[in-house]
């Protein structure tokens, strides 16, 4: 029968600071190689190179107005009292090649976006014309170039359009489409394998039953990994010695994340396996929650060992795994949470030498620590607006301190 001593974590002799752990997590991590994607699927991806336009947009002189393409000099001196007749000889429509050249004394009906025909050098607004049929009259002059967009006005061939590392916004994709940039070379999305094991865990979608609990970490982590641009792959293992070893020794992913099951030795088993199959750099962090976090590498693949407790799992993901996923995908390792400054309605108690992840509820200009009697309780994060980090150098924050709140959603207003 196992003694309790045998099943306790052994790797905690030298806990690391949060800073050391983050450094270890990001050590050697750089964006993954490029892959081509269709321009229609490029939003939210990250460019791997500078995009230089190879074309002029527009590639033709474009009318900026509905009106008449004219030779400007034909209109000089025109007024309502001295209308100058022009003969209407054709129409220029968008996407077509104008069917008529504009000769002296001639004009062509043109709409916004249509090519200005050869011979014409200005577009006369309808308001400055009168007449009917094929005969119109200019009632005001128009200067050369007026209402004519030049070739390459939007983007000229050779223009740098968007830089390497750019996170592509909807309008960026519009611009890339306009210049015919397709496919678009972007950073490959990191495949993040999340290994779940634990005989006490039922798969998501089950109902809890007896002493079995339902896995809450895998759907939570899958959503976090997608938020961070990764491709989550959940692998559910039987709680057997060989299964985890098999999964870890063939890390067919860009990152491996485990979340400790609570079975005999499992908190230890994964770190020990990582150390044996590769290297375990960090095990145990001076942080609450999330102390039992580990960081290692197997076959060049970063492994992040998260605690099984869902709140610890969330915090440790955000502190150590999220930055790895985002960095591999070419994004900033920084937290994707917005911050707001609020005044503490009640003090937050921490301990020198330990970084605290304190869940808080924002209420107007104030912020209140959420009661965390059970730090394992996921409702402490679903009921919170966000979190405050208490650095290791502080014993906490007294009531009335203005603190930075990292908002779980938006700017903490929901």
Residue 66 touches a second copy, criterion: CB under 8 A: yes
Binding mask 235-254 for a second copy (x = CB under 8 A): --------------------
Residue 153 touches a second copy, criterion: CB under 8 A: yes
What one-character-per-residue DSSP string does 385-401 give? SEEEEE-TT-SEE-TT-
For a second copy, which residue of 132, 242, 300, 364 counts as binding (CB under 8 A)? 132
Residue 308 touches a second copy, criterion: CB under 8 A: yes
H/E stretch holding 121 reads none
Task: Tell me how far, at minimum, the Cβ of 4 lies from a second copy, in Å.
Answer: 5
Q: Which of residues 267-306 bind a second copy (CB under 8 A)?
A: none
For a second copy, which residue of 88, 196, 255, 295 counts as binding (CB under 8 A)? 88
Cβ proximity to a second copy: between 125 and 394 the closer is: 125
Cβ proximity to a second copy: between 367 and 381 the closer is: 381
Residue 209 touches a second copy, criterion: CB under 8 A: yes
Task: Tell me how far, at minimum, the Cβ of 18 lies from a second copy, in Å.
Answer: 20
> Residues touching a second copy: how many (CB under 8 A)?
109
Q: Which of residues 352-371 bind a second copy (CB under 8 A)?
A: none
**Residue 190 to residue 301: CA distance in whole angstroms:** 11
Judged on CB neighbours under 10 Å (0-12, 13-18, 19+), 350 is buried
Task: Tell me how far, at minimum, the Cβ of 66 lies from a second copy, in Å.
Answer: 5
Residue 177 touches a second copy, criterion: CB under 8 A: yes
For a second copy, which residue of 158, 174, 238, 246 counts as binding (CB under 8 A)? 174
Q: Is the peptide bond before 289 cis (omega within 30 degrees of 0)?
A: yes
Residue 404 touches a second copy, criterion: CB under 8 A: no
Distance between first and last Cα of the chain: 51
Residue 163 touches a second copy, criterion: CB under 8 A: no
Cβ proximity to a second copy: between 176 and 295 the closer is: 176
Q: Which ranges of 345-386 does DSSP label H, i.e. alpha helix? A: 379-382
Instruction: Give, in order, the Cα–Cα distances in Å from 132 to each of 88, 114, 129, 137.
Output: 9, 22, 10, 9
Of 122, 229, 113, 96, give the one whose Cα is nearest residue 178.
113
Give the distance from CA 275 to its chain's centroid. Answer: 33
Judged on CB neighbours under 10 Å (0-12, 13-18, 19+), 275 is middle
Residue 101 touches a second copy, criterion: CB under 8 A: no
For a second copy, which residue of 20, 43, 52, 164 counts as binding (CB under 8 A)? 43
Instruction: Give, in order, the Cα–Cα distances in Å from 291 to each of 31, 379, 387, 389.
Output: 28, 20, 17, 15
Cβ proximity to a second copy: between 214 and 366 the closer is: 214
Cβ proximity to a second copy: between 223 and 352 the closer is: 223
Provide the residue count of the chain. 414
**Residue 238 to residue 263: CA distance in whole angstroms:** 12
Task: Tell me how far, at minimum, the Cβ of 234 lies from a second copy, in Å.
Answer: 8
Residue 13 touches a second copy, criterion: CB under 8 A: no
- In this structure, what token pair is assigned to residue 312? 């610890």
**Residue 273 to residue 267: CA distance in whole angstroms:** 11
Residue 412 touches a second copy, criterion: CB under 8 A: no
For a second copy, which residue of 27, 30, 36, 38 counts as binding (CB under 8 A)? 38
Residue 52 touches a second copy, criterion: CB under 8 A: no
Cβ proximity to a second copy: between 171 and 364 the closer is: 171
């Amino acid at each position: 029968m196992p003694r309790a001593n045998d099943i306790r974590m052994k790797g905690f002799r030298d806990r690391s600071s949060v800073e050391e752990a983050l450094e270890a997590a990001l050590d050697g991590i750089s964006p993954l190689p490029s892959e081509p994607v269709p321009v229609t699927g490029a939003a939210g991806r990250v460019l791997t190179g500078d995009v230089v336009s190879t074309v002029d947009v527009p590639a033709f002189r474009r009318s900026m107005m509905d009106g008449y393409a004219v030779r400007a000099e034909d209109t000089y001196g025109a007024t309502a009292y001295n209308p100058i007749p022009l003969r209407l000889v054709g129409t220029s429509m968008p996407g077509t090649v104008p069917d008529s050249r504009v000769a002296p004394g001639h004009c062509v009906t043109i709409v916004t976006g249509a090519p200005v025909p050869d011979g014409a050098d200005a577009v006369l607004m309808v308001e400055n014309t009168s007449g009917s049929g094929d005969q119109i009259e200019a009632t005001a002059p128009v200067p050369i170039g007026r209402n004519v967009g030049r070739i390459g006005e939007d983007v000229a061939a050779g223009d740098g359009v968007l830089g390497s590392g750019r996170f592509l916004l909807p309008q960026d994709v519009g611009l890339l489409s306009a210049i015919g940039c397709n496919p678009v070379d972007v950073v490959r999305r990191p495949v993040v394998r999340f290994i779940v094991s634990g005989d006490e865990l039922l798969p998501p979608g089950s109902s809890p039953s007896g002493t079995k609990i339902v896995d809450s970490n895998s759907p939570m982590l899958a959503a976090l990994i997608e938020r961070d641009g990764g491709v989550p792959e959940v692998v559910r293992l039987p709680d057997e010695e060989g299964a985890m070893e098999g999964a870890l020794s063939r890390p067919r992913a860009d990152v491996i994340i485990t979340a400790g099951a609570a079975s005999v030795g499992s908190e230890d088993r994964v770190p020990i396996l990582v150390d044996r199959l590769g290297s375990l750099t960090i095990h145990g962090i001076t942080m609450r929650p999330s102390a039992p976090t580990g960081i290692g590498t197997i076959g060049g693949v970063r492994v992040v060992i998260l605690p099984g407790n869902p709140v610890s799992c969330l915090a440790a993901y955000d502190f150590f795994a999220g930055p790895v996923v985002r960095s591999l995908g070419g994004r900033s390792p920084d937290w994707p949470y917005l911050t707001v400054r609020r005044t503490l309605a009640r003090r937050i108690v921490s301990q020198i030498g330990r970084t605290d992840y304190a869940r808080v509820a924002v209420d107007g200009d104030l912020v209140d620590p959420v009661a965390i009697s059970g730090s394992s309780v996921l409702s402490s994060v679903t009921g919170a607006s966000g979190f405050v980090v208490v650095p290791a150098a502080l014993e906490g924050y007294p009531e009335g301190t203005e603190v930075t709140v990292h908002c779980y959603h938006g700017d903490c207003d929901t």
